[in-house]
Amino acid sequence: MPDVEVTGPPVERDEEILTAPALAFVADLQRRFGARRDELLLARRDRREELSRTGRLDFLPETAEVRAGDWQVAPAPADLTDRRVEITGPTQRKMAINALNSGARVWLADLEDANTPHWANVVGGQVTLYDAVRRTISLTSPEGKEYRLRDPDDLPVVLPRPRGWHLPERHLYVDGRPAVGALVDFGLHFFHNAAELLARGSGPYYYLPKMESHLEARLWNEVFTHAQAELGIPHGTVRATVLIETITAAFEMEEILYELREHASGLNAGRWDYLFSIIKTFRDAPGDHTLPDRNAVSMDAPMMRAYSDLLVRTCHRRGAFAMGGMAAFIPSRRDPEVNAAAFAKVRADKQREVEAGFDGSWVAHPDLVPLCAEVFDAVLEGPHQLARRREDVSVTAADLLALDRTPGERTEAGLRGNIHVGIGYLAAWLAGNGAAAIDNLMEDAATAEISRSQIWQWTHAAATLDTGAVVTRELVERLVEEEYAALVDAGAYAEHLDRARELFVRTALDDDFVDFLTLPAYDVVVAAGG
């Protein structure tokens, strides 16, 4: 068996991305850092087991000095000082061009929540990013529509988001083992583009998802340090914005910034994975940790406010940007009523963020870029509001864990919605689309995780609904049949619905809780040769 083996199907222009030196670079990352990543995943499991026994979590005593210390992250590079509007989206070519033409300051090029790791997306995404860096990206759609960069000299800064530490890349083997997906995504992008970006006055900048501890941030820092040295890129060129989207990471915001301080740009309030993490972490802990309907948990809930305020305070104290998250409401160019409702809700969300001190925020659709810009323009006096230190904020462990003070009810409509979205989204995912609009909401891997984990928790806790009905396996199975029938009638992704239902039922109901929905879903993709 060769040291490095690509087992994925052929992808257009893969020979430009999977070159021998690029694969050697990724293999080197895998050999140096793969074992440590495996250890960190095991540590996650041990910690979760402890949390499920105690139901308690606190700031780490062993890192008190870091929290008390006087340090700052590296100053922002010139092209990353104004981040008031960031558009997110998959690296599919048409959407990439639309994102680059959207007027946003940053495009989060998503290889994660909004992406499925079909080999065609993994390699195709790298081709898109390669062309985007060099301003050569264009497309003629099957309908004959021409897509070109409107102004190649004035484009958003591109921040790819590699996969989280948990996902393997099962189409690329190093010494007989699947490489770590995150190292493949980062490694290929960095290898092909770091020097080119520098030559163009920018740099290799990334979003880092789903970390659960500062030790995981330390590993990323080691990867950056090594990758830069290996390619002769000056130390400290990389900039990373870390999503604080797990409950354990919320207790280690300072430590995560500290580990990455020579490469850190900011933190982002990834509210959807954060909710998933809360449900997952405390799903079977002693006491009642159930939350109301997914859509009832707003950013005004005390625990979400505490999380968001702590993030702004931590960032600004350390000279890092505080980035807002995603309001899931998607505008519609066809339905004025839906459009108006989406605009009003997104506006309220962005208003809350700018008032809380965030320096910018995310939108999921190009039509929302001007709205987000308008809200931040009205408040920001310069490119950011780092000077607002938020010293008024004081957040305790109890504030972050105030699940029981979250207003809202558990309803049958909520339960049904979780099933509808979960199966509908998984069908899209299996077809290769990692983001979908379902009932005018943006759904991606993070929101689907909430749907299935909430059902797991409600069922295992025998939670009661507003009707007085108890959530049982039988009730869920009956609603699954009904929602499945509705999805069949609707006709979208018909050939994937059976698999999607099977995956959903398994991950929402089996006693053995799967850490990530995308792990068994990826098995299905790989088995189908995708």
Ligand X SMILES: CC(=O)SCCNC(=O)CCNC(=O)[C@H](O)C(C)(C)COP(=O)(O)OP(=O)(O)OC[C@H]1O[C@@H](n2cnc3c(N)ncnc32)[C@H](O)[C@@H]1OP(=O)(O)O
**Residues tagged active-site:** 161, 444
Q: Which among ligand X, Mg ion, ligand O=CC(=O)O, none contacts residue 371 (Cβ within 5 to 8 A by kind)?
A: none
Least distance (Å) between residue 230 CB and ligand X: 30
How many residues interact with ligand O=CC(=O)O (rule CB under 6 A)? 10
Strand partners, 109: 89, 160
H/E stretch holding 430 reads helix 412-430
The 441-470 contact track toward ligand X, x by CB under 6 A, reads -x-x-x------------------------
Is residue 350 close enough to count as binding ligand X by CB under 6 A? no
Beta strands 239-244; 264-269: pairing state: parallel
Taking CB atoms within 8 Å and a gap of at least 24, the contacts of 447-450 are 447/272, 447/294, 447/328, 447/421, 448/421, 448/422, 448/517, 449/272, 449/273, 449/276, 449/280, 449/516, 449/517, 450/272, 450/275, 450/276, 450/279, 450/294, 450/418
Nearer to Mg ion, 30 or 418 (CB): 418
**Options 14, 113, 185, 255; binder of ligand X; rule CB under 6 A:** 113
Site string for ligand X, 54-73 (x = CB under 6 A): --------------------
Contacts with 464 (C-beta within 8 Å, 6 or more apart), sequence order: 410, 470, 471
What residues numbered 426-465 form the site for ligand O=CC(=O)O, per CB under 6 A?
A: 446
User: Of ligand O=CC(=O)O, Mg ion, ligand X, none, which one sits near residue 437, judging by CB under 5 to 8 A according to partner kind?
Assistant: ligand X
- 165: tokens are 């530490």
Q: How would you classify the pairing of strands 441-443 and 436-438?
A: antiparallel
> What is the rounded distance in angstroms from the CA atom of residue 329 to the CA atom of residue 455?
22
Q: How far apart are CA 379 and CA 385, in angstroms?
A: 9
Q: Candidates 93, 271, 317, 352: give the one binding ligand O=CC(=O)O (CB under 6 A).
A: 271
Report residue 300 as tokens: 């005004």
Q: Which window, 69-77, 270-278, 400-408, 463-471, contacts ligand O=CC(=O)O (CB under 6 A)?
A: 270-278
Q: How far apart are CA 221 and CA 240, in angstroms?
A: 9
The Cα 36–Cα 76 span in angstroms is 29
Number of H helices, E strands in the chain: 19, 15
The answer to whether residue 273 forms part of the interface with ligand O=CC(=O)O (CB under 6 A) is: yes
Q: Does 243 bind ligand O=CC(=O)O (CB under 6 A)?
A: yes
Q: How many CB atoms lie within 10 A of CB 136?
A: 10
Residue choice 13, 45, 56, 94 for contact with ligand X (CB under 6 A): 94
Q: For residue 2, state whether it binds ligand X (rule: CB under 6 A).
A: no
Closer CB to ligand X, 284 or 515, in the complex:
515
Q: Which is nearer to ligand O=CC(=O)O, 228 or 246 (CB)?
A: 246
Applying CB under 6 A, the residues found at the interface with ligand X are 87-90, 94-95, 98-99, 110, 113-114, 272, 326, 330, 333, 364-366, 435-437, 442, 444, 446
Applying CB under 6 A, the residues found at the interface with ligand O=CC(=O)O are 113, 243, 245, 270-273, 325-326, 446
